[in-house]
């Protein structure tokens, strides 16, 4: 992977996780004096400058509340990469998106109508509702809320162990209110 594209966790001045950005953008924020390195990687990119893993803005940035976009990746993260019919965990490439109410019956591409589903169960359910197919959902799909983007950011960030203290989560994904120190 190109070092300048490596993901960096960007924190607000209040230590609130904002987003994941490419290392090149993080370095620009640090060298322009808008951010500081909270956690370096140990990889030297220029004499005296280490590639950051986590940066923190020096001035608090107000972030407007926005709803998360309905994408395959976001739905899979919401459902923790588990088939919502059999409950088994899969790699993302082995999952499909199931329309709870099939598109043929007017179902939409929305948070409330899409669920992670293994190929076998999606094929078995076909163009039927869960009730018609005799396949109850383990959990009804939840609509996006103001908390969805934070949940997705945490889910993405859990792939990098050293970020967990900034995302209020342990390695299993349980949220904790950790003390920074």
Q: Cα separation of 26 and 56, whole Å?
A: 9
Residue 8 confidence (pLDDT)? 92
High-pLDDT (> 90) share of the chain, %: 54
What value does the mean pLDDT take over residues 109-131? 96
Q: Cα separation of 121 and 119, whole Å?
A: 6
- Does residue 5 register a pLDDT over 90? no
How does strand 17-22 pair with strand 35-46? unpaired
Residue 67 confidence (pLDDT)? 66
Residues 18-76 have pLDDT tens digits of 888 999 999 999 999 999 999 999 898 888 888 999 999 999 998 776 667 888 988 98
What value does the mean pLDDT take over residues 142-170? 75
The token duo for 103 is 């598109």
Higher per-residue confidence, 130 vs 152: 130
Rg (CA), the chain: 20
Domain(s) of CATH 1.10.30.50: residues in the chain: 72-133
Query: Per-residue confidence at 10, pLDDT binned at 50, 70, 90?
Result: very high
Structural element, H or E, at residue 56:
strand 49-57
Residue 169 confidence (pLDDT)? 53
Residue 106 confidence (pLDDT)? 95
Q: Cα separation of 125 and 50, whole Å?
A: 51
Query: Per-residue confidence at 172, pLDDT binned at 50, 70, 90?
Result: very low
pTM exceeding the 0.85 threshold for the entire prediction = no
Strand partners for 52:
40
Fold for the domain defined by 72-133: DNA Binding (I), subunit A (1.10.30)
> Could you tell me if 38 and 56 are in contact, meaning their C-beta atoms sit under 8 angstroms apart?
yes
Alpha carbon distances (Å) from 31 to 25, 37, 41, 178: 10, 10, 16, 29
Higher per-residue confidence, 64 vs 109: 109
**Phi, then psi, of 88 in degrees rounded to 5:** -80, 145
Query: Per-residue confidence at 161, pLDDT binned at 50, 70, 90?
Result: confident
The token duo for 146 is 């103001």
């Amino acid at each position: 992977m190109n070092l300048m594209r490596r993901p960096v966790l960007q924190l607000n001045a209040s230590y609130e996780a904002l987003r994941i950005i490419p290392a090149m953008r993080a370095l620009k924020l640090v060298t322009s004096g808008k951010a500081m390195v909270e956690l370096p990687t140990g990889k030297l990119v220029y004499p005296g400058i280490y590639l950051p893993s986590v940066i923190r803005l020096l001035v608090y940035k107000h972030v407007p509340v926005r709803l998360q976009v309905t994408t395959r990746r976001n739905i899979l993260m919401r459902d923790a990469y588990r088939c919502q019919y059999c409950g088994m965990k899969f790699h993302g490439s082995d999952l499909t998106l199931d329309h709870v109410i099939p598109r043929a019956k007017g179902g939409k591409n929305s948070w409330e109508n899409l669920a992670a589903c293994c190929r076998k169960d999606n094929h078995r359910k076909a163009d039927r509702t869960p009730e018609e197919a005799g396949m109850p959902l383990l959990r009804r799909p939840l609509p996006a809320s103001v908390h969805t983007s934070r949940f997705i950011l945490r889910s993405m960030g859990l792939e990098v162990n050293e970020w967990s203290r900034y995302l209020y989560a342990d390695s299993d994904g349980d949220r904790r209110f950790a003390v920074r120190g």
